[in-house]
Amino acid sequence: MTDFWRGRRVTVTGGGGFLGKAVIAQLEGAGADSLFVPRSLEFDLRTADGISRALADGEPQLVIHLAAVVGGIGANRDNPGRFFYENAVMGIQLVEQARRAGVEKFVTIGTVCSYPKFTPVPFHEDDLWNGYPEETNAPYGLAKKMLLVQGQAYREQYGFNVIHLIPVNLYGPGDNFDPASSHVIPALIKKCVDAREAGDPYIEVWGTGAASREFIYVDDAARGIVLAAEHYDEPEPVNLGVGSEITIRELTELIVSLTGYRGEIRWDTSKPDGQPRRALDTSRATQAIGFTAQTPLATGLAAATSWYESGLGVRRP
């Protein structure tokens, strides 16, 4: 617990979501005792009115903006306009109204999807502008990157303390397991557990399996966000990750083993792989805020799988 959070009025948008719940838990553990979480049913943050009412009710000194419209490759392909507009309009209006309301500090959460498609691995924050993002999620990635531009511009013109964090792909208990919108880890866990229970002889997985990804356990990401909110006050963005990657093929084989599924893996190569490789340079986070991820991938996958299985009431064979 630190004196920084005690008595400080903090508004967390998206606080009821997957990452939001983990951030709220970290804040409470750090001593935060004046938290306000605007719920979407009451405060539509895509509208100026919803934002102004949320800021009036919360009277925040610090805002952590986690609310976003997100999904996997399929959801991004199906909703490019929605993902661009809703993420951009929500963030841009919120930053502007927060500045006008006298908020002292604003934390924006970006996305690894903002990096160019062929960024050299590991991705360094200075690489953000060296090309266009991977096409399947470029609208989402660019909408989020505009919040970095806005924050730096507002810092320069108004002296508004806006910081920008870029977490790599999240996973863990409480993730979204809806196959229409889930990301790769929950999608694979659900696919393997469901196939195991149904006795299916094979599962189909998108792409070739050659693409690589980096994954950070949700509690680790939340801890990094809270550390940065307290200790980081610079204009440059900060990666939050683990600093290592795994191919989708290796990830699939690991989840197959963890879930006890014994069928065949079939690769649907007519579906896209997405960005060829993703792995972050995490040195800035280590140096600037003392953050290092702590949860091994196998440990986190086991926790996410157990959470999903307990929710379904299924039993391991």
Q: Give the strand pairing for 212-213 and 246-247.
A: antiparallel
Given 140, 171, 217, 261, which residue is catalytic?
140
Indicate if 308 belongs to the active site: no
Our CA dihedral for 304, 72, 79, 178, rounded to 10 degrees, sits at -30
Coil, strand or helix: which one is 197? helix
Q: Are 228 and 291 in contact (CB under 8 A)?
A: yes
- Both tokens assigned to 84: 């661009």
Using the CB atoms, write b or e for 182-197: b if 16+ within 10 Å: bbbbbbbbbbbbbbbe
- Both tokens assigned to 248: 């989708």
Query: Does the N-terminal peptide bond of residue 122 adopt cis geometry, omega within 30 degrees of 0?
Result: yes
Distance, in Å, from the CA atom of 184 to the CA atom of 190, rounded to the nearest integer, reads 10
CA-based Rg of the chain, rounded to a whole angstrom? Answer: 19
Q: Which residues are part of the catalytic machinery?
A: 140
